[in-house]
Structure 1
Amino acid sequence: MTTQNPDAAVLVLEDGTRFAGRAYGARGTTLGEVVFATGMSGYQETLTDPSYAGQIVLQTAPHIGNTGMNSQDNESSKIWVAGYIVRDPARRVSNWRAEESLDDALVRDGIVGISGIDTRALTRRIRDAGAMRGGIFSGADAALDGAEQQRRVTEAPEMAGQNLSAAVSASEARVLPATAERIGNLAVLDLGVKQSTLENLTALGFDVHVLPQSATFADIQAIEPAGVFYSNGPGDPSASDTQVAVLREVLDARLPYFGICFGNQLFGRALGLGTYKLTFGHRGINQPVLDRATGRVEITAHNHGFAVEAPLDGPFESPNGYGLVEVSHVGLNDQVVEGIRAHGIPAFSVQYHPEAAAGPHDAHYLFTRFRDLVIATQEASK
């Protein structure tokens, strides 16, 4: 009689590829879209970023967990990834700020992971074939029949078409007071917002009103906002018609608007542009982006699997009647749209994360740009 190995684990991709390794974190089964993140550090911020909901995250850096976990660096109240894949997890924590090990945090939040596999080979597979559904089976579930494991993976929902904002958004509104000279109220539609983003916005002088993803334009008007912000978040932007409709009302009212990541994709849709799924997406804190207005190249933090379709050869008319708009930022690895700016209305967005937790900070100026836009709009209305 064979004895089950409680530390066994296997990763199964929808194309039939299998990787055998060791259980890491909680034991059991998890299903999701397998994606890779290229950051050498910042795994805690990645794990607690709500944008990663529904995704099994592969770290391309081989050594993960060295600095442990602490309560100060969390971007939300829990770990959101569907599963976690690393090559060599740290055997012990070596950082004075650590309060627990990464392994303990994964177990506490019920995150099933796998370690000890060839993450380079897996990354190459995803890069060549594209992000795909996968499953991690560990502990007793690692001994399940291979055909049964494959069936579970292929029956899992695909990321395309999913609206996940309701799963990660705040259930009720809350207010964070300004920590600098007050400018006014800011409506933040929480589609999966990160804590560091909120801290940056309060530091600009905004009383930040965090609203659930179900908020209406009337809810936004009720706080008498000086501006509106749409956050990052998971899922397919083509499945968020309600939030796009609300954003069109914001733009019609000429309220200053700033969107990041998911907020960039929804801004594109509100302008009348399409979106599409990238082959393997951009995830990590080392993505080069060109600011076309200044010619400056920024190293930026990304987490997106979808992008906006827009002309790159200069200003063009918004299909939905908002005047001239242009692509303001472009990804240098693949020429993907990384930012949009409107000429006739006070609105812009970027596809990446200027709050830059856990770095770099090249794009932090975008928060100041938004503050200046709000102040200029206030002055013009006097």
Structure 2
Amino acid sequence: MKEGRVSFDPAVLVLEDGTRYSGRAYGARGRTLGEVVFATGMTGYQETLTDPSYAGQIVVMTAPHIGNTGVNDEDTESSRIWVSGFVVRDPSRVVSNFRATGSLDDQLVTEAVVGISGIDTRAVTRRLRDAGSMRGGVFSGADAALDADAQLEIVRAAGQMAGQNLSSQVSTVDGYVVAATTASIGRLAVLDLGVKTSTINYLAERGFDVHVMPQSVSITELLAIDPVAVFYSNGPGDPAASDGHVSLLQEVLKKGLPFFGICFGNQLLGRALGYGTYKLPFGHRGINQPVVDVATGRTEITSHNHGFAVDAPIGVISDSPAGFGRVEVSHVNLNDNVVEGLNALDIPAFSVQYHPEAAAGPHDANYLFDRFRDLVLKSKDSK
């Protein structure tokens, strides 16, 4: 067992509506700003922290005890922690897990992530459920002593998530290849909009030689690897601010290449097909979202992290406004009837809004990687 830190330094979480929550400093000291959102997972906090989709967000964990299993080198989903800030109720004082290589608090300090503990995260969650996700700031160290009005002014001066294109901040600068771990079925072009390690591993296990490409790649550069298919990853930001990625995807669809998109990739497929997107009041985040597969009627418990959604008609087959044929909404959220998946009927393309690659689970939707493999093999056989 490893001992964690115990902090008595003051800290405060300030929301843009003026609501304040006083607690103790957790992780690095200082000031951080971002969109305050809540995540409902009771496990997998290390996956949440290292998921690039959380860039620009201060994450409130609804589970009360965080840090019990510490951190390790196996459960990271990227090369660093991406959350702007971290809010917990009771950080573990003791790290107890045979895989742990350190404490979560130490890792937050090392990576300069400002957090707060010792506040009623239930109250914060209820506030966000009532008022919606909003800008906020965590202030500790010298910044905790700032005047309350000054802290609120700093929060309200921060940028909104709507309208932000964050792909360039999280995408790889240089492309790289992860070889298939079973018999290869061809090269897969993965547009890195904030891709997770688990996604790459699951694709490699399905026989793809995974070519991870920067978000700035051109259609010429993408086609130069002669891909059998294209994949758009998860990622942060507003899909309405990603016109370049939409145009690139439309070129891919015109070429008839099979396509699969996850999360942000689902929103961009929606836009490429001609549908709009909109911001959800407080988004879907956590690992317990019930989603129904419209074709089978099967309900899956799924992992989510998105604040935007596709505006497409549910329960009917519609014509793609962008001219790509018939489209159906394949999956629907049972909590609020939000579109959770798209399936193009006249071209080989589909997507889901949630995370079938969630390493911490649930794994109900992992079959989607097999469905993608089958789609690619069917497309190859038809040529």
Task: Give the TM interval when normalised to the shorter protein.
Answer: over 0.9
- Tell me how far apart the structure 1 counterparts of residues 25 and 228 of structure 2 sit (CA, whole Å): 49
Q: Which residue of 1 aligns with 2:68?
A: 66
| Cα contact 2:174–2:213 (8 A) shared by 1 | yes
1:9-66 per-residue CA deviation (whole Å, 9 max, x = no partner) reads 0010000000000000000000000000000110000000000000000000000000
TM-score scaled by length of structure 1: 0.98
What residue ranges of structure 1 are gaps of 5+ in the alignment? Answer: none
Letter in 1 for 2:38: F
User: What does residue 297 of structure 2 align with?
Assistant: 295
1:246 is paired with a residue whose SS is: helix
CA offset digits 1:223-279 (Å, max 9, x no partner)? 000000000000000000000000000000010000000000000000000000000
Matching residue of 1:124 = 126
Name the aligned partner's letter for residue 342 of structure 1: A
1:49 corresponds to which residue?
A: 51
Q: Match of 1:271?
A: 273
Q: How many percent of aligned residue pairs carry the same amino acid?
A: 70
Displacement of 1:376 in angstroms is 0.2
Q: Give the aligned partner of residue 194 of structure 2.
A: 192
Equivalent residue letter for 1:348: F
Q: Is contact 2:228-2:257 (8 Å) kept?
A: yes
Quick check: 1:164 aligned with 2:184? no
Aligned counterparts of 2:56 and 2:219: Cα–Cα separation in 1: 28
Partner of 1:12: 14
Partner letter of residue 307 of structure 1? A
Counterpart secondary structure, 1:225: coil
Where in structure 1 do 4 or more consecutive aligned residues deviate above 2 Å?
Answer: none
Worse overlay, 349-358 or 27-36: 349-358
Correspondence for 1:281 = 283
Are 2:8 and 2:24, in contact at CA under 8 Å, matched by a contact in 1?
no
Residues of 2 paired with 1:272 and 1:365: CA distance? 27
Q: Distance in 2 between matches of 1:263 and 1:60?
A: 27
Match of 2:320 in 1: 318
Distance in 2 between residues matched to 1:59 and 1:242, nearest whole Å: 34
Structure 1 residue 6: deviation in Å? 7.1
Cα deviation 1:152-194 (Å, max 9, x = unaligned):
1000000000000000000011111110110000000000000
Distance in structure 1 (CA, Å) of the matches to 2:296 and 2:97: 39
Between the aligned partners of 2:195 and 2:352, the Cα distance in structure 1 is: 15
Letter matched to residue 194 of structure 1: K
2:122 is paired with a residue whose SS is helix
Question: Structure 2: how far apart are the matches of 1:285 and 1:78?
Answer: 21
Separation in 2 of the partners of 1:60 and 1:246? 38
The answer to whether the Cα contact below 8 Å between 2:52 and 2:195 also exists between their aligned partners in 1 is yes
Separation in 1, partners of 2:134, 2:301: 27
CA distance in 1, matches of 2:51, 2:208: 23
Match in the other structure for 2:183: 181
Give the corresponding residue for 1:355. Answer: 357
The one-letter amino acid of 1:236's match is D
Aligned-residue RMSD, C-alpha: 0.8
Contact 1:6 1:140 survives alignment (8 Å): no
User: Which residue of 1 is the match for residue 3 of structure 2?
Assistant: none
Q: Partners in 2 of 1:100 and 1:163 — Cα distance?
A: 34
What corresponds to 1:245 in structure 2? Answer: 247
- What residue is the counterpart of 2:4 in the other structure? none
Aligned length: 377
The answer for the alignment partner of 1:97 in structure 2 is 99
Offset, 1:211: 0.3
| 1:139 Cα deviation from its structure 2 partner | 1.2
Contact 2:189/2:222 (<8 A) preserved: yes
Alignment check: 8 A CA contact 1:6 1:138 kept: no
Measured in 1, the distance between the counterparts of 2:205 and 2:103 equals: 31
Structure 1 counterpart of 2:242, one-letter code? S
Give the whole-Å Cα distance in 2 for the aligned partners of 1:219 and 1:372: 26
Amino acid at match of 1:13: L
Q: Which amino acid aligns with 2:66?
A: I
Contact 1:6 1:139 in 2 (8 A): no
- Alpha-carbon offset, residue 313 of structure 1: 2.0
